[in-house]
Amino acid sequence: MKSKKAITALLLVTTMMSGLLTACQQKPAEKKPTESKKEAATEAKKADATEGKKETDGKAMHIDVIAKGFQHQFWKAVEQGANQAAKEFKVDITFQGPDNESAISQQIEYLDAAIAKKPAAICLAALDTKASLASIKNAQSANIPIVGFDSGVPDAPKGAVKGNASTDNKAAGELAAVEMHKLIKDKLNSDKPVRIGVVAQESNSQSIVSRTKGFVDKMVELLGKDQVSVEGHDSLKNEKAGAKFIIDVGIPAEVKDADAAAVASAILEKQDLIAIYGSNEFAANAIITANEGLDKIGEGKVVAVGFDAGKKLLDAIKSKLFAGAVTQNPVQIGYQAVKLAVAAAKGEEVKDVDTGALWYNAENMADEKIAPCLYE
C-alpha cells in the first residue's frame, strides 16, 4: 500500500510541475503586446529626432538666411529682425548676402555652401530663381525646407518653398501711385501732354518688378488707359501716339550709383515732367543725387515719391524735397522669415505672411505705427 501511495504522490507532483512549467512558458507571450508598443514608440521617437527639430547632441537648430545683398540699409534692418527671431526661438542663424544685387553667381555660391552644411532650413531672397534652380533642387533632394523672404523665390519647383515672408509688392506699388495721384491732380489738366517719371533699380528682381509694374498699372488705371503712353524701358513699354499722359520708365544697365543717377537725370531734365517715382531706396537715392545739379524736385516743383527708407531718403522727406514714400516693414520681414523657417524645419504647416506697407511723409513719419518701419 505504501508503495502504491508513493507512486500516486509522485505522479501528482510530476503533473503539478508540468503545469507550472507550462504556465511559466506562457508568461513571456503575455508581455509581447506591451513590448511591441514600446518598440513602436522607440521607432517613432527615432523618426521624430530625424524629421523633427533637426537638433543633435543638444546643439541649437541652425538656419541659413541668404539675402540679396548688403548694398542698402534695408538689408541691415532685415538682419535685425532675423536676429530677434533667432534669439526668441533659440536657434542659430547665418545671415549673408552678395556684394550687390547684380551678383547672382555670388549668391548661388552662398546658397550651395549653405546646402552643403545641411542646415535645418534656408531663408532665401533669390536674385534670379531661374539661375538658382539647380541649387534649389539640391536643397529639395536633401529635404532642406526653403522659406522665401522679400521677393521670395518666384517660380520655384513645386514644394521647394514652404512659405514666404514678404510685402505684397504689387499692392505697395499701387499705394505709391494712389498717393502720388492725390498730389498731382491739379497738374493733370494741362493743355499739353505731361510726364510722370519712374526710376527702377533693375528688371530681374521680382519684388522691384512687382512694385514698379504695380505703380505703372495703377497710374494707368487712375489716368485712363486710353490716354496713357508708357515709354522708356522695353520691359513695360506700351506706347500710344497722341497720349495726354506719358509714363517714362528708366532702368540703369547696371546696378551702380552713377548709372542710376544718369537715368534719373535724363528724366528730370525733361520739361514736361510733373512727378517722379523711385521704386526702392537705391532708385530714390539716384533721384536725390541727380537733383543736386538740377534742382527740379521739391515743394512747388516736380513731385517726388520714393519707396523704402534709409538716411538719405528720410532727410529728403523731412525737408520736403520728397513728398513722401512707401515703407515696407524690413524688421518684420526678417523676423517672420526665421519664424517660418523654424516651423518648417519642425515639419509644421506654414503659410505666406504679408508683412505690409505704409505711406509716410514729413507729417506722419513719427507715428507709432510708422516710425519702427523706418531705418537709416
| Domain assignments of the chain as residue spans, ordered by start | 62-166+330-355, 169-328
What architecture is domain 169-328? 3-Layer(aba) Sandwich (3.40)
Per-residue pLDDT of the chain (376 residues; tens, 9 = 90+): 444 444 344 344 344 444 433 433 444 344 444 444 444 444 443 444 344 444 445 678 999 999 999 878 889 999 999 999 999 999 999 999 999 888 999 999 999 999 999 999 999 999 999 999 999 999 999 999 999 999 889 889 999 999 999 999 999 999 999 999 999 999 999 999 999 999 999 998 888 999 999 999 999 999 999 999 999 999 999 999 999 999 999 999 999 999 999 999 999 999 999 999 999 999 999 999 999 999 999 999 999 999 999 999 999 999 999 999 999 999 999 999 999 999 999 999 999 999 999 999 999 999 998 999 999 8
Pull the grid cell for residue 254: 547696371
Helix (H, G, I), strand (E, B) or coil at 207: helix
Q: Pick from 74, 75, 92: which is nearest to 83 by CA?
A: 92
pTM of the model: 0.74
Which CATH code fits 62-166+330-355? Answer: 3.40.50.2300
* Location of C-alpha cell 543736386: 292
- For the chain, the C-alpha Rg in angstroms (whole number) is 32
CA distance 88 to 105: 33
**34/175 Cα distance (integer angstroms):** 64
Q: Is the Cα dihedral 253, 259, 260, 264 positive or negative?
A: negative
pLDDT of residue 170: 96
- Are 62-166+330-355 and 169-328 in the same CATH fold? yes
Beta bridge partners of 249: 198, 232
Q: How many residues does the chain have?
A: 376
Query: Hey, what amino acid is at 174?
Result: E
